[in-house]
Amino acid sequence: MISNKMSQLLERSAAMSNMYTEGARMKALYGVENVYDYGLGNPNLPAPDIVRETSIRILNETDPWYLHHYMPNNGFIEAREKIAASLNRRFGENYNIDNIIFCTGAAGGINCVLKVLMDPGQEVLTFAPYFGEYDRYADNVGCTLVAVPANIPTFQPDAAEMAKYITDKTRAVLLNNPHNPTGVVYSAETIKAICDVLAEKEKEFGHAIYLISDEPYRELVYDSVTVPWIPDFYKNTIVAYSFSKSLSLPGDRVGYLAFGNDVEDFDNIVYGVAVAARIMGFINAPSLQQLVVAECCEETVDISFYDRNRERLYAALTEYGYEIAKPQGAFYMFVKTPVDDKIFAQKAKEYRLIVTPGSGFGCAGYVRLSYCVNYSTVEGSLPAFKALMEYFKENK
Ligand SMILES: Cc1ncc(COP(=O)(O)O)c(C=O)c1O
């Protein structure tokens, strides 16, 4: 018999699981090419060739004992050196191996950080809409996720509004940029305003409030937009990076955490995260992947494929009457629904469209489209989106 707590978690995850099952059922019934599946943020582009070539070379050249044995929980020293050097070059940091910890994707990294920072009963703050797993990450450490309501229609968080939600129990803020599910990139002005409020609140409450910057989409940006480097704005920032999206390696479970030298209680936090990885069972990030991504950390998939999908979808959907804040990053679009988002997503299936209700991201009235799909899916789906909007116009 499973625990009551897990039963509740399963119930909350049911909507997502049902969506996968329904997608598979529809594809079996109508054929894969006739179902327009925008449900999952699973990159459709393969990892760049250089990743495979580097993997093979490292496998061939590295002593197998060294490659496959337990290592320091923080990761291989030479791999952390390469990541630190890249961040120093790109963002003017002064990092060395002590500032970098390899983790099992951003998810593993964030969970380890929360384990170290949070006592049960405390609060993790975030901004709606938010990555649906954040609730569970906070719950894993006996804490509550507090979401600042969405700032519609721009989805740029409002720092003054955020200030109202910070209490003495707020110990960490989870901020995701570029953003899932909206594709919005928070501007430098937005980040500065948030960081200024956090610095004031740290003074007011007399303790650190750590900003965990969840950045799996850092490299996936369009229109030459710049993603602010948050440690420039706030000393108590911990960056959680992942290669799941930039290199299309979500199954490889590899990313890193970066801690600035001025992070309050640096030594205890860094040591704590290594211990958290061990006691939570991650131990260390996959060894081969650490060495591979360290060499490929400035490579990306061909972003122009996602950009083509973005432009085509945005132009067509807005022409049909959908309202969307034009995404500038990641591979998501957050579309306002003419009716309740769950009703919309349900009806969409009749048009062989799979979309995710915004209520799963703490923001009802929208659906998320993950456009990491083939261009043929985008083209094929447009008449369906058009007909769906016409249906709702005729059936108000
Ligand atoms: C905002 C956000 N954070 C974290 C994750 C987890 O990514 P990873 O595969 O790096 O654990 C995802 C994955 O989709 C995400 O969208």
CATH number of the structural domain spanning residue 223:
3.40.640.10
Does the beta carbon of 202 sit less than 6 angstroms from any atom of ligand 1?
no
- With a 6 A CB cut-off, is 361 part of the ligand 1 pocket? no
Q: Are 313 and 378 in contact (CB under 8 A)?
A: yes
Q: How far is CA 168 from CA 111, 122, 326, 352, in A?
A: 21, 9, 36, 48
Cα 243 to chain centroid, rounded: 11
Separation of CA 325 from chain center: 18
256 with 108, same domain: the answer is yes
Q: How confident is the model at residue 166 (pLDDT cuts 50, 70, 90)?
A: very high
The minimum-distance atom of ligand 1 relative to the CA of 242 is 10
CB distance 41 to ligand 1 below 6 Å: yes
Query: What pLDDT, on a 0 to 100 scale, did the predictor assign at position 353?
Result: 97
| The pLDDT of residue 148 is above 70 | yes
Token pair of 214 as six digits: 């969840």
pLDDT over threshold 80, residue 3 = yes
Which of 184, 245, 368 is the pocket-test mutation for ligand 1 (most atoms within 8 Å of CB)?
A: 245
Judge if 37 and 62 occupy the same domain: no
Shared domain check, 272 and 168 = yes
Which of 296, 325, 349 lies at the terminal end of a domain, its last residue? Answer: 296
Please tell me the distance between residue 175's alpha carbon and the centre of ligand 1 in angstroms.
12
Q: In what order do the strands lie in the sheet with 332-336?
A: 332-336, 366-370, 356-357
Whether residue 242 has its Cβ less than 6 Å from ligand 1? yes
Amino acid, res. 360: G
Which residues make Cβ contacts (< 8 Å) with residue 76, sequence separation at least 6?
102, 287, 290, 291, 294
- Regarding whether 112 and 26 lie in a shared domain, the answer is no
pLDDT tens for residues 149-161?
999 999 999 999 9
Look up the CATH number of the domain holding residue 326: 3.90.1150.10
Helix-then-strand count for the chain, H and E: 13, 12
Per-residue pLDDT at 13 exceeds 90: no
The ligand 1 atom nearest the CA atom of 109: 11
Q: In total, how many domains does the chain have?
A: 2
- For β-strands 123-127 and 100-103, DSSP reports them as unpaired
Which of these three, 229, 263, 296, is where a domain ends? 296
The pLDDT, as a whole number, for residue 23 is 83
Q: Enter the tokens of residue 198.
A: 């956090």
One domain, residues 119 and 256:
yes
pLDDT digits (tens, 9 = 90+) for 50-95: 999 999 999 999 999 999 999 999 999 999 999 999 999 999 999 9
* 151, 171: one domain: yes
Q: Would you say the CB of residue 356 lies under 6 angstroms from ligand 1?
A: no
State in Å: Cα 384 to ligand 1 middle: 29
Q: What percent of the chain has pLDDT over 90?
A: 93
User: Is pLDDT at 338 greater than 80 in this prediction?
Assistant: yes
* Cβ of 180 below 6 Å from ligand 1: yes
Q: In this structure, are 308 and 292 located in the same domain? A: no
Of 264, 296, 328, which residue sits at a domain end?
A: 296
Mean predicted lDDT score pLDDT of the chain: 96
Are 230 and 260 within one domain?
yes
pLDDT band for 21, please (50, 70, 90 cuts): confident
Q: Tell me the DSSP string of 106-173.
A: HHHHHHHHHHHHPPTT-EEEEESS--TTHHHHHHHTT-EEEEEPP-TTT----HHHHHTT--TTEEEE
Q: Is 176 in the pocket of ligand 1 (CB under 6 A)?
A: yes
213 in contact with ligand 1, CB cutoff 6 A: no
Q: 170 CB less than 6 Å from ligand 1?
A: no
Q: What is the mean pLDDT of the segment spanning 31-39?
A: 93
Give yes or no: residues 173 and 273 share one domain. yes
**What pLDDT score was predicted for residue 15?**
67
330 CA: nearest ligand 1 atom:
16
* Ligand 1 centroid – CA 106 distance (Å): 6
User: Mean of the pLDDT values across residues 203-228?
Assistant: 97
Give the model's pLDDT for residue 238: 98
Domain that holds residue 186: 49-296
Looking at the fold, whether 361 and 254 belong to one and the same domain comes out as: no
Q: Residue 216 C-alpha to ligand 1 middle, in angstroms?
A: 6
